[in-house]
């Protein structure tokens, strides 16, 4: 399965991996624009797992460990499920087969590194966003949402609030979306955050 950026390249690598090993691909599941930070809310991963759980597929191939999960807990759970249920997890970029003890050891180390990288980036992003709030710096493109609402959403997200909780707070206060609707879905909140997060993320990566 593929996730995040460079989806065409990831799919090509997975197909090449399968061809080299004589493996038939049942399908390619794509979590486009979704981070591997958590397995929650990843519909494509859920579909891939359903295929192996139902016996329609013998395993799951990902390009990198962090395309599957950046949380050690999530990775360990998936690896344990694969071992217990008898299906295979494979990482195409390095030819890693998690059905072997050596493969699981290496993958476990890589999952720890991926989780550490995700935490570092999250910390830097939160710091960068908070700095922009404190200095009054605007974020990226001009938003149709009032600046005070954008600042509130960014501040709450930086403080660790979830998208649903942020939306519920906005609705409780009677704040309308950019299209004048009273309902703030998680996706609506995420759309407002996207420009600000990308701007702060870029600054964090440069730090």
Alpha-carbon span 174 to 170, nearest angstrom: 6
pLDDT for residue 64? 81
pLDDT digits (tens, 9 = 90+) for 163-184: 898 999 899 888 988 888 899 9
| Domain membership flag for residue 193 | yes
**CATH code, 61:** 3.40.50.1390
- Write down which residue in 60, 94, 116 finishes a domain: 116
pLDDT digits (tens, 9 = 90+) for 120-164: 766 776 676 666 656 655 554 455 788 788 888 888 887 778 889
Cα 10 to Cα 6, 15, 61, distances in angstroms: 6, 9, 11
Examine the domain organization and report whether 13 and 99 are in the same domain.
yes
Which DSSP symbol is given to 93?
G
Domain count, the chain: 2
| Domain membership flag for residue 198 | yes
Q: Stretch 93-115: mean pLDDT, rounded? A: 77
pLDDT for residue 147? 78
pLDDT digits (tens, 9 = 90+) for 25-37: 998 888 754 544 5
**pTM value surpassing 0.85:** no
**Nearest Cα to 10, choosing from 59, 66, 87?**
66
Contact 36, 67 (CB under 8 A): yes
| Domain membership flag for residue 138 | no
Kindly state the helix (H) or strand (E) to which residue 184 belongs, with its residue range: none
pLDDT digits (tens, 9 = 90+) for 48-89: 999 999 999 999 998 887 777 767 778 788 888 888 888 988
Examine the domain organization and report whether 71 and 112 are in the same domain.
yes
| Domain membership flag for residue 135 | no
Pairing of strands 88-91, 2-3: unpaired
**Nearest Cα to 184, choosing from 206, 198, 164, 159?**
164
| Domain membership flag for residue 157 | yes
Task: Say what angle helices 186-206 and 101-135 make with each other, to 10 degrees.
Answer: 90
Examine the domain organization and report whether 97 and 170 are in the same domain.
no
Determine the Cα angle at 24 with ends 20 and 26, to 5°. 135
pLDDT for residue 137? 54
Residues spanned by the domain of 106 = 7-30+41-116
Tell me how far the alpha carbon of residue 14 is from its chain's centroid: 19
Q: Is the pLDDT of residue 116 over 70?
A: yes
* pLDDT bucket at 92, cuts 50 / 70 / 90: confident
Both tokens of 27, joined, read 């399908």
Examine the domain organization and report whether 105 and 185 are in the same domain.
no
Examine the domain organization and report whether 103 and 158 are in the same domain.
no
């Amino acid at each position: 399965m593929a996730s995040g950026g460079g989806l065409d390249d990831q799919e090509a690598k997975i197909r090449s991996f399968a061809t080299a090993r004589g493996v038939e691909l049942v399908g390619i599941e794509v979590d486009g624009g979704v981070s591997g930070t958590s397995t929650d809310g990843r519909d494509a991963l859920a579909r891939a797992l359903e295929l192996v759980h139902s016996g329609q597929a013998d395993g799951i191939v990902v390009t990198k460990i962090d395309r599957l999960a950046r949380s050690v807990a999530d990775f360990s759970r998936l690896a344990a499920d694969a071992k217990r249920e008898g299906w295979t997890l494979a990482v195409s970029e390095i030819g890693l087969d998690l059905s072997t003890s050596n493969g699981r050891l290496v993958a476990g180390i890589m999952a720890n590194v991926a989780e550490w990288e995700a935490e570092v980036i999250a910390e830097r992003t939160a710091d960068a966003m908070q700095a922009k709030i404190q200095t009054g710096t605007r974020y990226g493109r001009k938003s149709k949402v009032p600046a005070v609402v954008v600042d509130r959403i960014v501040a709450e997200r930086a403080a660790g609030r979830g998208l649903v909780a942020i939306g519920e707070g906005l609705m409780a206060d009677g704040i309308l979306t950019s299209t004048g609707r009273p309902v703030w879905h998680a996706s609506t909140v995420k759309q407002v955050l996207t420009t600000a997060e990308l701007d702060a993320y870029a600054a964090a990566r440069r730090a």
